[in-house]
C-alpha cells in the first residue's frame, strides 16, 4: 500500500512523495489521515537543520506527530475497529525512510495501542492533543503554585495557561509579539517590560528561546523554579543570580505515558478547550508553502494540513 507523505529531503527542502507502507501486523491499524499539524518546535528545528542529532535521525525524513484520522484497517489484536476516529502521535511505517516522527502522511500503519480514540466532533482540533499532552506534562513537572509566569503565547503557551487556570491558578503570560498577545482566556498576556514582578515562584518557558534563561532567573523569588517546556539547541545561564536565589531548573519532556489519555479526558469533561488555537489551514498538497508559513509568519499560532483531497 502506498502513502503520500511529507518528506524533508534536507534542511529547507520539502516535498510530497509517494512511499511504500510497511505491511500491517495483527496488532496494527491502518489509518487514513484527515488532518495533521505542523509543530513550530521540533519540526522547525528539523526544517532549519538545527535539530541536535539523536538516534534514528537523518535526511530524508518524514516529520509529524499530530495526526487525526479514520481507522480503515484493523488487525484482530489491535483493540480498535474499522470506522473509529483516532489520534496518532507519529508512526514508523515507511521502510528505510527515516521518521521524525512520521505522522505527516495520507495513510499510516501504527500499533493499535499507540492510536487513541477521540470524539469525531473534535474535528481538526484533534491534532492539538499532542501539544495539549505536552502542556499537561509541563504543568505536572513544574507543579506550579502561587505567582506563576508562562513565557510564550504560542499554542503550547496558551494550552499551559489554560491548564493552570483550570487548576485554579492565575498565571501571567509574556509575549513579545503584539500579534500573538491576543486571545488570552482567564489570564493576562503582556510584554515582559510591562511586567514589574520579580517574585515569581514558578516560571514555565514555552518559547523555546535558549537565550531567555538569564532574564527569567532575574524574575524569580528565592527558591523559585524555572521549568523548560520548549525544545532547545543548548542552554546556559549566569551562575551568580541563580546561586543567590537558590534557583531550581527543571526540564519537561514531550509527554509521558498516560498524558494523552488524561488530556483527552480533560477535553471531554470541558475542563480544557482546544478552540481558537488553529489559525492557518492548507491543503496537504500545499505542504511546502504551509511549512514556510508555519515557521515564518508570526501570526501563525498553529498550521493544519488537510489530507481529505489526497
pLDDT value, residue 41: 83
Alpha helices (runs of H) in 143-245, residue ranges in sequence order = 155-166, 213-217, 239-245
For residue 53, pLDDT beyond 80: no
Distance CA 62, CA 78 (A): 24
The mean per-residue pLDDT over the stretch 114-124 comes to: 97
CA 206, 203, 234: angle at the middle one, nearest 5? 55
Give the separation between CA 7 and CA 4, rounded to whole angstroms.
Answer: 9
Residue 193, C-beta contacts closer than 8 angstroms, at least 6 positions apart: none
CA–CA dist 104, 167 (Å, integer): 33
Q: Give the pLDDT confidence score for residue 48 in this predicted structure.
A: 87
Quick one: three-class SS letters along 39-72? CCCHHHHHHHCCCCCCCCCCCCEEECCCEEEEEE
Question: Distance (Å, rounded) from C-alpha 275 to C-alpha 89?
Answer: 20
The CATH superfamily holding the domain 2-117+279-306 is Medium-chain alcohol dehydrogenases, catalytic domain (3.90.180.10)
Q: What is the pLDDT of residues 82-103, one digit of tens each?
A: 999 999 999 999 987 876 789 9
pLDDT > 70 fraction of the chain, expressed in percent and rounded? 98
Which segments of the chain belong to CATH 3.40.50.720?
A: 131-251
CA-CA distance, 19 to 102, in Å (whole number)?
A: 12
SS3 call for 98: strand
Distances from the Cα of 272 to the Cα of 114, 132, 136, 157, 166, angstroms = 22, 9, 10, 14, 7
Q: According to the model, what pLDDT value does residue 42 have?
A: 83
Buried b (16+ CB within 10 A) or exposed e, 73-109: bbbeebebeeebbbbbbbbbbbeebbbbbbbbbbbbb
Residue 56 has pLDDT above 70, yes or no: no
For the cut 70, the answer to whether the pLDDT of residue 33 exceeds it is yes
d(C-alpha 41, C-alpha 39), whole Å: 5
Find out whether 68 and 124 touch, Cβ atoms under 8 Å.
yes
Rounded Cα–Cα distance for residues 60 and 97 (Å): 7
Given a contact cutoff of 8 angstroms between Cβ atoms, the answer to whether 78 and 29 are in contact is yes
Looking at the predicted structure, is the pLDDT value of residue 45 above 90? Answer: no
CATH architecture label of 131-251: 3-Layer(aba) Sandwich (3.40)
Report which DSSP code applies to 3.
Answer: E
The confidence score (pLDDT) of residue 215 equals 97
pLDDT of residue 257: 85
59 pLDDT above the threshold of 90: no
Model pLDDT for residues 204-219, shown as the tens digit of each residue: 999 989 899 999 999 9
Q: With left for phi above 0 and alpha for psi between -120 and 50, is residue 265 left, alpha or beta?
A: alpha
**Mean pLDDT value of segment 284-296:** 95
Q: What is the pLDDT of residues 171-206, one digit of tens each?
A: 999 999 999 999 998 999 999 999 999 999 999 999
pLDDT at residue 94 in the model:
93
Q: Could you give the angle at the alpha carbon of 124 between the alpha carbons of 100 and 187, nearest 5°? A: 95
Angstrom distance (rounded) from CA 168 to CA 100: 36
Collapsing DSSP to helix, strand or coil, 264 comes out as helix
Residue range(s) in the chain whose domain bears CATH number 3.90.180.10: 2-117+279-306
Reported as a single tens digit per residue, the pLDDT across 120-148 is 999 999 999 999 999 999 999 999 999 99
pLDDT band at 55; cut points 50, 70, 90: low
Q: Report the mean per-residue pLDDT for the chain.
A: 94
Amino acid at each position: 500500500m502506498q502513502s503520500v507523505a511529507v518528506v524533508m529531503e534536507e534542511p529547507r527542502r520539502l516535498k510530497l512523495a509517494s512511499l511504500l507502507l510497511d505491511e500491517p501486523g495483527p496488532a496494527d491499524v491502518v489509518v487514513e489521515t484527515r488532518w495533521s499539524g505542523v509543530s513550530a518546535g521540533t519540526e522547525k528545528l528539523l526544517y532549519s537543520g538545527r535539530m541536535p542529532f539523536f538516534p534514528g535521525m537523518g535526511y530524508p525524513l518524514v516529520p509529524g506527530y499530530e495526526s487525526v484520522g479514520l481507522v480503515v484497517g484493523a488487525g484482530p489484536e489491535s483493540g480498535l475497529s474499522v470506522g473509529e476516529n483516532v489520534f496518532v502521535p507519529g508512526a514508523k511505517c515507511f521502510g528505510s525512510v527515516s521518521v521524525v516522527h512520521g505522522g505527516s502522511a495520507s495513510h499510516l500503519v501504527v500499533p493499535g495501542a499507540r492510536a487513541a480514540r477521540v470524539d469525531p466532533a473534535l474535528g481538526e482540533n484533534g491534532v492539538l492533543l499532542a501539544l495539549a499532552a505536552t502542556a499537561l506534562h509541563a504543568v505536572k513537572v513544574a507543579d506550579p503554585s502561587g505567582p506563576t509566569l508562562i513565557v510564550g503565547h504560542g499554542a503550547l503557551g496558551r494550552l499551559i495557561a489554560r491548564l493552570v487556570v483550570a487548576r485554579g491558578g492565575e498565571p501571567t503570560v509574556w509575549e513579545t509579539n503584539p500579534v500573538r498577545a491576543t486571545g488570552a482566556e482567564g489570564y493576562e498576556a503582556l510584554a515582559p517590560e510591562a511586567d514589574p514582578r520579580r517574585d515569581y515562584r514558578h516560571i514555565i518557558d514555552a518559547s523555546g528561546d535558549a537565550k531567555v534563561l538569564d532574564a527569567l532567573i532575574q524574575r524569580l523569588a528565592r527558591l523559585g523554579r524555572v521549568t523548560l517546556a520548549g525544545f532547545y539547541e543548548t542552554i546556559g545561564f549566569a551562575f551568580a543570580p541563580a546561586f543567590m536565589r537558590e534557583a531550581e531548573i527543571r526540564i519537561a519532556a514531550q509527554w509521558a505515558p498516560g498524558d494523552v489519555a488524561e488530556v483527552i479526558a480533560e477535553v471531554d469533561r470541558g475542563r480544557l478547550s482546544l478552540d481558537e488555537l488553529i489559525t492557518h489551514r492548507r491543503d496537504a498538497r500545499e505542504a511546502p508553502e504551509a511549512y514556510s508559513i508555519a515557521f515564518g509568519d508570526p501570526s501563525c499560532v498553529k498550521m493544519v494540513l488537510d489530507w481529505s483531497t489526497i
